[in-house]
Amino acid sequence: MNLTKFDYHLHTKHSDGEMSFNDLLEALKGSVDICGVSDHFELGHSHSIDLSENYINEFNSFREKAKSAGITVYLGAETGLGKDGILLPYKRPQIEYVIASLHKVPLKEANFDEYWETYKKIVSKNVKKGGFTILGHVEGYLPLSPFIDRDLSFKKKREIEHYIIEKYFTADWYSALAKDLVENDIALEIHEQSETPRLMILDIMKRSGVTFSYGTDSHIAKQVSKRNYLNMVIQELNLKESDFLSMEKIAQKI
Binding site for Zn ion (CB under 5 A): 78, 101, 217
Closer Cβ to Zn ion, 101 or 223, answer by number: 101
Q: How far is the CB of 2 from Zn ion (least distance, A)?
A: 26
| Cα–Cα distance measured from residue 7 to residue 10, given in angstroms and rounded to the nearest whole number | 7
Closer Cβ to Zn ion, 102 or 250, answer by number: 102
* SS3 state at 187: strand
Q: How far is the CB of 242 from Zn ion (least distance, A)?
A: 26
| Maximum Cα–Cα distance across the chain | 53
Closer Cβ to Zn ion, 169 or 206, answer by number: 169
Q: How far is the CB of 215 from Zn ion (least distance, A)?
A: 7
**Strand ranges for 42-129 from DSSP E:** 72-82, 85-86, 97-101
Closer Cβ to Zn ion, 130 or 143, answer by number: 143
User: Which residues partner with 35 through β-bridges?
Assistant: 7, 73
Q: How far is the CB of 144 from Zn ion (least distance, A)?
A: 13
CA distances 151 to 24, 104, 154, 157, Å, are: 28, 18, 9, 10
Show Cβ contacts of residue 66 under 8 Å, excluding neighbours closer than 6 positions: 25, 28, 72, 73
- Give the residue nearest to Zn ion (CB): 101
